[in-house]
Structure formats: C-alpha cells, structure tokens
Amino acid sequence: MFGRIICPLLTCIFLSLSSAPAGAIDDLQQQNRQIINKEIAVQIDVDKWSAEKQALVSELLDQKTQLDWNRFQNKKYQQYLAHKQQNIADLKHQKEVMGKLRMELEPFLDSSIDNLTSMIAADLPFLADERQERMAFVSQSLSDPDLKLSEKLRRLLEAVQVEADYGNNVEVTEEKLQLESEESIVQILRLGRIGLFYLTLDNKNVGRWDSQQQRWAPIVTDYVPVIQTTISVVQQKRVAELVDLPVPKLSQADGELNR
C-alpha cells in the first residue's frame, strides 16, 4: 500500500528537483516529506480502521451466533417448561384419582376380608390352622396404617387365590378326629371343595363331612374300597379311574358354600 503511494510522490519530487533552484529544493523536500508522512499516517489510520472493522464484523457474527443459540435455548426451555407443567397437571390428576380410589378401595378390602372369612367358616373344615393364620395375617395387614394400599390389595388377592386353588386340587392328610365317643387317627380325603371324607387306619370305618349338620357323619362301609382306591389314586400309588363317591349335588354344595 505504501509503495503505491510513495512511488508517484517520488516521481513528482524528482521532477520538481530537476527544475527548482537550490534554496527551494530544501523547502520542496521538506514539504514532500510532510506530505509523505501525512499519507503514511492516513494509511496507518485506514489499516487500523480496517482491522477494527474486521474485528467488529467478527464480534457481530459472534453476537448473532450467540443470539441464535439463546433463541434456540429459550425455545427448548419453553418446551421443557410446558412438558413439566403437563407432568405436574398429570400428577395432580393422579393424586385426585388415587384419593378417590383409596376412599372406595379401603372399605372394599375390609368387606372382602369379612366375606372371605365367612366363606372359610362355612367351608369344609380342612387346613384350619393354616387358613386361620393366613386370614389373621391379611386382617392385620389391612389394619396397618403404614402399609401401602397396593400391598394390602396384593395380600388380599393372594389369599383369595390360595382359597380359589383349594377348589381345584385334591389331597390326603392324616389327622385326629373325634368320632362318636373317642378320638381316632384317620386319613382325610379332600376332593376340592366337593367332598371331605375320612377312613380309619384299620380300614373298617368311613365317613364324610356333613355341611348341613356341620359334623362328621359315618357312611356305610360299602364305600371303604372306593375311598381306599381314591386315596391310592391321589397318592399316585395307582392309575386314575372312575369312582362312585357319595358327594352332594353341585347345587347343594354351592348353596352350602354360599350360606
């Protein structure tokens, strides 16, 4: 840049020197030096301004980038805020629903345990200790203020499921029964909830639970072989076969269980 400015000036100076007197040459050189210095100073200012301009442009670009980023962040924040507000609204709604559910479910649980306890009391008398302990545990759970409602419901449903499964299985146990005037050790045969029979260990006497009378009643000894066969099948000592047992009709059994 300086070269383009100085060359024409030098040309002018040489032309002036060739035609000017000696005294005027010094003045002319002084003037030329001043002109050159001014041109140099102007060019320095121009270069400085250009550099400042470039720096300003870069700063503006940086500011624009930052502004765009801030706008993007603000948009994302607005979306995030709207999402959080929706979550809060959903949680409030769920809290209201859970409050209403608790008001309806807790009385339902209490009535359900009462119904289940009544059903067990009217049911065939098998596994009495186990079933009573289970119902006591569930009743205690429902009275626990620190236990979550979901856990209370789970324990009640578990007890209901166990009781429901009793109607789908058979078992043979050995127990002491008060038969007439003496206590005897017998084999108890349970067929789901349809019938409950006993067979004395000497294979001489048989009987069944009379749900209407709520007591053990003897049946004719003709059923001894049938009960023996059924017990052997349940214990997997022989293959399954059809047997004729003195069980109540289904409608009568249902009525007895639903009393």
Q: Which of the listed residues 165, 195, 211 is the one where a domain comes to its end?
A: 165
pLDDT of residue 21: 60
Any idea what DSSP says for residue 128?
H
Tell me whether residue 226 is in a domain: yes
Per the structure, how many domains does the chain have? Answer: 2
Tell me whether residue 52 is in a domain: no
Tell me whether residue 34 is in a domain: no
On whether both 152 and 178 belong to a single domain, the answer is no
pLDDT digit string (tens) for 155-195? Answer: 999 999 999 999 899 999 999 988 877 888 999 999 998 89
Tell me whether residue 229 is in a domain: yes
pLDDT of residue 23: 63
On whether both 158 and 190 belong to a single domain, the answer is no
Tell me whether residue 94 is in a domain: no
On whether both 136 and 199 belong to a single domain, the answer is no
On whether both 111 and 186 belong to a single domain, the answer is no
Tell me whether residue 137 is in a domain: yes
Tell me whether residue 117 is in a domain: yes
pLDDT of residue 258: 37
**Mean pLDDT for the stretch of residues 84-96:** 90
pLDDT digit string (tens) for 10-65? Answer: 555 555 545 556 566 777 777 777 888 888 888 887 888 888 888 888 888 888 88
On whether both 176 and 136 belong to a single domain, the answer is no
Q: Which of the listed residues 165, 194, 216 is the one where a domain comes to its end?
A: 165
On whether both 197 and 231 belong to a single domain, the answer is yes
Tell me whether residue 92 is in a domain: no
On whether both 180 and 233 belong to a single domain, the answer is yes
pLDDT of residue 212: 86
Range of the domain at 120: 102-165
On whether both 120 and 179 belong to a single domain, the answer is no
pLDDT of residue 18: 53
pLDDT of residue 257: 36
Going by pLDDT thresholds of 50, 70 and 90, the confidence category of residue 252 is very low
On whether both 253 and 188 belong to a single domain, the answer is yes
Q: Which of the listed residues 121, 150, 165 is the one where a domain comes to its end?
A: 165
Residue 197 pLDDT more than 90? yes
Q: How much is the mean pLDDT over the chain?
A: 83
Pick the residue with more confidence: 103 or 152?
Answer: 152
On whether both 190 and 144 belong to a single domain, the answer is no
pTM recorded for the entire structure:
0.59
Residues of the chain with pLDDT > 90, as a percent, come to: 40
- Cβ count near 195 (within 10 Å): 19
